[in-house]
Chain A
Amino acid sequence: MTFGLLFDSTRCVGCGACTAACKEQNHLPLPIESETTAYTWTVVEKRNGAFVRRLCMHCLDPTCVSVCPVGALKKTAEGPVVYDAKRCIGCRYCIMACPFGVPKYQWDRALPVVGKCILCADRVVEGKATACATACPTGATLFGDRESLVREARRRLETEPQRYVDHVYGLDEAGGTSVLLLAGLPFDQLGLRTDLPRHPMPLLTWQVLSRIPNFVVLAGAFLFGVYWITKRREAVAEDERRLS
């Protein structure tokens, strides 16, 4: 079973309980910043009169995981995309690769690491809801298994179509995410990207990378053939010179 969050922008009052709970749960230093940083993993932004959370979307097939050269990022079976600072070499490929601009770097430290929401992976393994969902006083952030959350999101769209834009953000954006969003405004007005492909983004590079072993074998065979023919011609030429 894979878990996730359903954030309903129409039920968010912008109280910041999610941010406060995240700070406490993950022992992140204060203050609470106005945008996500390596020390503030989730914030509530107000855009066009509506509140929207910013946090890691926990892609089903995460680009950050696919580009990390040392395996510091990992998609767990329960759903969270977790980060191991001990493995990180600070290359920041994950920051460049994330389609949602989530991972942030500790620019103020001499030995920086990356910071991002880890969907309270320890709590999830213990069967608990994430800290943000636990603290939310309106139920705007719901924790549950992703399939149930998708059903709940669709139920809300069907029962209150006047309240929502008819789309579950995260259902298939970048191949699908464990964090799903509902909103009463078009998602681009909430600062969310609406130009993302509907397939997992690592597919883009995998189409090339998966062919590299074949290419190496074929190119090696071709170069060996050229070498063999050249050597053979030289040997034949040498023999003919000797005979004549």
Chain B
Amino acid sequence: MRLFAATVVLVAAPVLACAGHPVPGGPVAGAPETAVSSPRPALDVEVRLPSDLAFAANPDAPAPVLFRHETHVDSTAPRCTGCHPGTFAILKRGGPVTHADMEAGRSCGVCHDGKAAFSAADSDACELCHQPPADAAGQAAGSAGGRP
């Protein structure tokens, strides 16, 4: 009987140890709010969004592209993690942006897929991004749409 009990303990202990290994420690005390509550009122905080990013135009492109954070981000409640660093680097400028990437669901195509925002492959929407430099600053704010 004692041999049986010892055997059970000897088998059960390593099994429990192995099972417990991947389980993190106990619950975290004082967890943050899970429900979204209204932000603190009257935050006199200036959000300095990064400057506009000019992309060199491909010879076949109708015009260069000027990316503006203002048209992609709610400056009163920005959510940088929607794009950074998963889709675009935040500390340095990324490589060239191509339509092939977008149509494969990468780069701008993560959002500009025709569902979350207009499709990057939509031939009727070229001018929403490709704008002559003189027009870009004035028109982009109202035309780019989409989400951050």
**B interface residues, tally (CB under 8 Å):** 33
B39 partner residues in chain A, CB cutoff 8 A: 13-14, 49
Most buried by A among B43, B80, B91: B80
CA distance A131 to B32 in the complex (A): 24
Tell whether, in the assembled complex, residue A13 and residue B78 are in contact, meaning their CB atoms are under 8 Å apart: yes
For the complex formed, measure the closest distance between the CB of A38 and the CB atoms of chain B, giving whole angstroms.
10
Tell whether, in the assembled complex, residue A137 and residue B78 are in contact, meaning their CB atoms are under 8 Å apart: yes
- Which of B4-12, B19-27, B130-138 interfaces with chain A? B19-27
CA distance A30 to B81 in the complex (A): 11
With beta carbons under 8 angstroms apart, the residue of A15, A23, A24, A50 that contacts B78 is A15
**Contact digits for A41-52, partner B, Cβ 8 Å, 1 yes 0 no:** 000011111100
- Which of B47-55, B95-103, B104-112, B121-129 interfaces with chain A? B47-55
Chain A contact residues: over half helix, strand or loop, or mixed?
loop
CA distance A107 to B18 in the complex (A): 12
Tell whether, in the assembled complex, residue A20 and residue B90 are in contact, meaning their CB atoms are under 8 Å apart: yes
Bin the interface of chain A by size.
Answer: 35 or more
User: With contacts A20-B84, A49-B38, A138-B45 known, is A13 near B32, CB below 8 A?
Assistant: no
Tell whether, in the assembled complex, residue A191 and residue B91 are in contact, meaning their CB atoms are under 8 Å apart: no
Chain B contact residues: over half helix, strand or loop, or mixed?
loop
For the complex formed, measure the closest distance between the CB of B45 and the CB atoms of chain A, giving whole angstroms.
5
A108 partner residues in chain B, CB cutoff 8 A: 22
With beta carbons under 8 angstroms apart, the residue of A31, A50, A107, A134 that contacts B40 is A50
CB-CB nearest in chain A for B37: A49
CA distance A116 to B24 in the complex (A): 16
For the complex formed, measure the closest distance between the CB of A161 and the CB atoms of chain B, giving whole angstroms.
15
Tell whether, in the assembled complex, residue B23 and residue A107 are in contact, meaning their CB atoms are under 8 Å apart: yes
Tell whether, in the assembled complex, residue B37 and residue A13 are in contact, meaning their CB atoms are under 8 Å apart: no
Interface residues of B (CB under 8 A from A): 21-24, 28, 30-33, 36-40, 43, 45-50, 76-81, 84-86, 89-91
Q: Shortest 6 CB-CB distances between A and B: which pairs?
A: A45-B32, A20-B84, A16-B81, A24-B85, A17-B80, A15-B78
